[in-house]
Structures are given as structure tokens and as C-alpha cells.
Amino acid sequence: MSGHVAPKTMYYFVFAALIVGTGLTVLVAFFDLGVFNNILMLSIACAKALLVILFFMHVRWSSRLTWLVVASGFFWLIILFGITMTDYLTRGMVPGTPR
Amino acid sequence: MSDAPPRYHPPPVAIHPEGHAPTPHHPWLQHHFDSMEQQAEASTLGMWVFLVTEIMFFGGLFMAYLVYRHQSPMGFQEASHHLNIYWGAANTAILIVSSLTMALAVRAAQTSQPAKVQVRWLLATIFFGLCFLGIKAIEYTDKFRDHIVPGAHFQWEGLYPKPAEQFYSLYFAMTGLHALHMIIGIGIMAVIAFLASRKTFDSDYYTPVEVAGLYWHFVDIVWIYLFPLLYLIGRHYTPGGH
């Protein structure tokens, strides 16, 4: 028995991409880009996390069931952030409601 | 790949004398599983279920961060400005290197590399984990020295002392919890390295290395988000605002 064996070069490529991503976020942070600071920073973080999950954690070659469990975790996280922020972001929008 | 080093477990082993497992099987196969593949799949899936609970666990803290930052964006930027971006970036790089050595440790077990090679990658992972904690210790020391640890002795010179204290409460809660995970991870790696040195893992059986690896990479992912959210948001902050 043996799961998918990825070539060593793949691990080095993913590693290089992660380091480049880190350098990029640090670089971007030194410039004031308004909202794009946050957007870029989080996009790069998500891309890095995705690389780690798919390749280092072998989800790319895992069963459908594993895919489903992993995705459900992040799906629930989005529900947590999404529903909570619909409250905080809209406070005071309707006249007469508390801020 | 294969200049095929010898496997450690010549499967299958004989039937147990007591006769409770009627067919010959691999020594590490537990009897409630049909095959090594099924056993590995169950372990991996179980680990992922645990990691999902960890996502929700850290998720609560990220949620708190989001709410408080939303309430005082400038305060958070001012507070973040005090963190040392270079220590943070160095630690990010160190963790990524440790993730690479971890992935290579799993691969070494998966391809039946000699025990020595497996142990070497695992020790490298432990080493980088310790480096990370060392840098974290330096940073924490600075915070105590500068009186920006939330509590009775918290002092803040800037414009937003209250949000700054909230920021540093979250900073210590999140990085502290992350560091605790690192400490546990290093303990796990020590056990796995010990088992590897006893020639436990080869291409037929390497699930413990794989599963420990999942945990290690997960802790890396948490840091991938903590680093920008804590260290980078205040880089271009100028007192007095935009």
C-alpha cells in the first residue's frame, strides 16, 4: 500500500512559491494601497494556504470524502464570518436602529 | 523513484496462534479494518475531522479580530505598527521551511527510505520548530519590556490606547495558542522520530508520519494568516491618519 508519491521537485516548487508569496506580502505592506492592501494580503495568504493544503497535505490526491470534509470546514468558517459581519457592517444603516 | 531499499515489514505475517484473524495480514493492520488502504484512509479522514474542529477553534479568534478591527481600524494599524515585521517575516519563512522538511519526511517514509533519512527530516522539522519558538520568545520579551502586555501595567503612547490593548490581547491569545500548537507538534514529531528510528515506517505503513504531517502543516497555515493580519496591517501607518 502506498498513496500517491509526488516527485521531490514538486515539493521544492511549492516551497519556492510559498517563499515568493511571503516576500510579496511583505513588499506590498510597505505601500499604502488603501483597501487593496487587505485584498492583496488576504489573497496571497489564501493562495499560500491552498498550496499547502493541496500539495503538502496531499489533498490533491485524497479521496472525495476527504475533499468534502476539508471544504466543509472552510464553508462553515465562511458562514461564521459572513453572518456575523452582515450584522456588524450594517449597524446603524436603518434609521432608528442602534449603532 | 525506486532503487527500492528493503521494506521493514515483510508482509504478510502468519495467522495468529489464537486464530482471531483468519487471514494472513500486515503486522500493523488492526483487525477491524479490511486492508491497509482502508486503515490509512480512515486515519487520514479522522485527522481531517479533527483539523476542521481546529479551524473552527482558531476561527472564533479570527472572528473576534475581525469585529474589533472593524470597530477601530486605525487603532489596530497603530498597534500593529509596533510589531517587528522582520521577526515576523523570518518566522514565516522558518515555518515554511519546516513544512518542507515535514513533507520530505513523509515522502521519505512513503518511499521506504532508510530510517536514518526519515529521522533526519523529522529532526530538521523539530529544529525549525524550535527556531520559531525562540524568535517568538524574543518578541514576547520585548513586549513585556515595553509594557504592551494587556493588563494592569499596559502602557500605550499612541492615540488609541484602548484598541491597542484589544489588539495585543488578541495578539497574545492567537500567537500564544499557535505557539502551544507548535510545542505540541514538536512533541509529536519527537515521538514519530523515535518510532522512525526503530524502523517502524516504510511504504506499506507510514500513516503516523502522514497524519502528524497534516497537523504540522495545519499549524503552518494558521501562521500564514496570522502573519499578515497581525504584523503587516500597520506598516504604512502614520500617526494622525490618512
| Domains observed in chain B | 58-232 (1.20.120.80)
CA dihedral B192, B11, A1, B195 (to 10 degrees): 0
pLDDT of residue A86: 93
| Beta-carbon contacts of residue B61 (< 8 Å; ≥ 6 apart) | B170, B173, B174, B177
User: Hey, which residues does A39 pair with through a beta bridge?
Assistant: none
pLDDT in tens, A15-51: 999 999 999 999 999 998 988 999 999 999 999 999 9
Q: Which amino acid is at B95?
A: L
Cβ proximity of B82 and B148 under 8 Å: yes
Cβ proximity of A8 and B107 under 8 Å: yes
Residue B153 Cα, gap to closest chain A Cα (Å): 31
Q: CB of A9 within 8 Å of any CB in chain B?
A: no
Q: Across all residues in chain A, what is the average pLDDT?
A: 92
pLDDT of residue B150: 95
Give the closest residue to B50 by CA, choosing from B224, B188, B197. Answer: B188
B16 versus B222: the higher-pLDDT residue is B222
Q: SS3 of A64, please?
A: helix
The Cα–Cα gap between B18 and B30 comes to: 15
Residue in A26, A74, A75 to test binding to B, most B beta-carbons within 10 Å: A26
The Cα–Cα gap between B212 and B71 comes to: 38
Q: What is the DSSP string of B97-150?
A: HHHHHHHHHHHHHHTT--HHHHHHHHHHHHHHHHHHHHHHHHHHHHHHHTT-SS
The Cα–Cα gap between A97 and A68 comes to: 40
pLDDT mean over B84-93:
96
| pLDDT of B15 above 70 | no
Residues of A whose CB is below 8 A from B205: 1
According to DSSP, residue A59 is labeled G
The Cα–Cα gap between B141 and B135 comes to: 10
pLDDT of residue B168: 97
Question: Could A8 and B107 be called an inter-chain contact, meaning their C-beta atoms sit closer than 8 Å?
Answer: yes
| pLDDT of B242 above 60 | no
B228 to chain A: nearest residue by CA? A41
Percentage of chain B modeled with pLDDT above 70: 90
pLDDT of residue A95: 83
| pLDDT of B2 above 70 | no
pLDDT of residue B234: 86
Residue A87 Cα, gap to closest chain B Cα (Å): 10
| pLDDT of B61 above 50 | yes
| pLDDT of B4 above 90 | no
Cβ proximity of B228 and A25 under 8 Å: yes
Residue carrying C-alpha cell 494558521: B222
pLDDT in tens, B89-145: 999 999 999 999 999 999 999 999 999 999 999 999 999 999 999 999 999 999 999
Question: Could B40 and A38 be called an inter-chain contact, meaning their C-beta atoms sit closer than 8 Å?
Answer: no
Question: Could A81 and B63 be called an inter-chain contact, meaning their C-beta atoms sit closer than 8 Å?
Answer: yes
Q: Which of A44, A56, A85 is closest, CB to CB, to B217? A: A56
Residue carrying C-alpha cell 489573497: A43
| pLDDT of B3 above 70 | no
> Nine-digit cell at B183?
510545542
Residues of A whose CB is below 8 A from B93: 19, 22
Residues of A whose CB is below 8 A from B227: 22, 25, 45
Q: Which amino acid is at B127?
A: F
Residue carrying C-alpha cell 482558531: B58
Give the closest residue to A77 by CA, choosing from A41, A44, A99, A49. Answer: A49
User: Hey, which residues does B205 pair with through a beta bridge?
Assistant: B202
* Cis peptide leading into residue B12 (ω within 30°): yes
- Model pTM? 0.92
pLDDT in tens, B208-228: 999 999 999 999 999 999 999
Q: What is the CA radius of gyration of chain B?
A: 23
